[in-house]
Amino acid sequence: DGGITQSPKYLFRKEGQNVTLSCEQNLNHDAMYWYRQDPGQGLRLIYYSQIVNDFQKGDIAEGYSVSREKKESFPLTVTSAQKNPTAFYLCASRQRDGQTYGYTFGSGTRLTVV
């Protein structure tokens, strides 16, 4: 079955470290997205990519970086510049022209700073 796989499910980061969250999809979707979820704040867009080798900043991109070298993969790096990285991170994808179909979401990665 097609879907989105996020790994790891839980991730712990020490102060000053960079960590990378994986997102892989086998849905043949063009567009991929990273959201951050904090209690009471809903989902906030970090970065998105509509095609390979191209991506745009979302509303809260500072302290994060992404790459899109393959259609199937959209990893997110949380850098040491992100001062409050503890959150639940969700990856999503959809067809570029499929706005009527909504997003397909992964099961998320919970990142905790220790």
**Residues of this chain that bind other proteins (CB under 8 A):** 4, 6, 31, 33, 35, 40-43, 45, 48, 50, 58, 88, 90, 92, 96-97, 99-108, 110
Smaller CB separation from other proteins, 6 or 82: 6
Give the CA distances from residue 63 to residues 5, 39, 47, in Å, rounded to whole numbers and listed in that order: 23, 20, 11
CA distance 59 to 1: 32
Smaller CB separation from other proteins, 47 or 85: 47
Among candidate residues 86, 82, 88, 87, the one with its CA nearest the CA of residue 114? 86
Rounded to the nearest whole angstrom, what is the least distance from the CB of residue 10 to other proteins in the complex?
10
How is residue 101 annotated by DSSP?
A: G
Tokens 């745009």 — which residue?
56
Rounded to the nearest whole angstrom, what is the least distance from the CB of residue 56 to other proteins in the complex?
9
CA distance 64 to 77: 6
Rounded to the nearest whole angstrom, what is the least distance from the CB of residue 45 to other proteins in the complex?
5
Smaller CB separation from other proteins, 43 or 52: 43
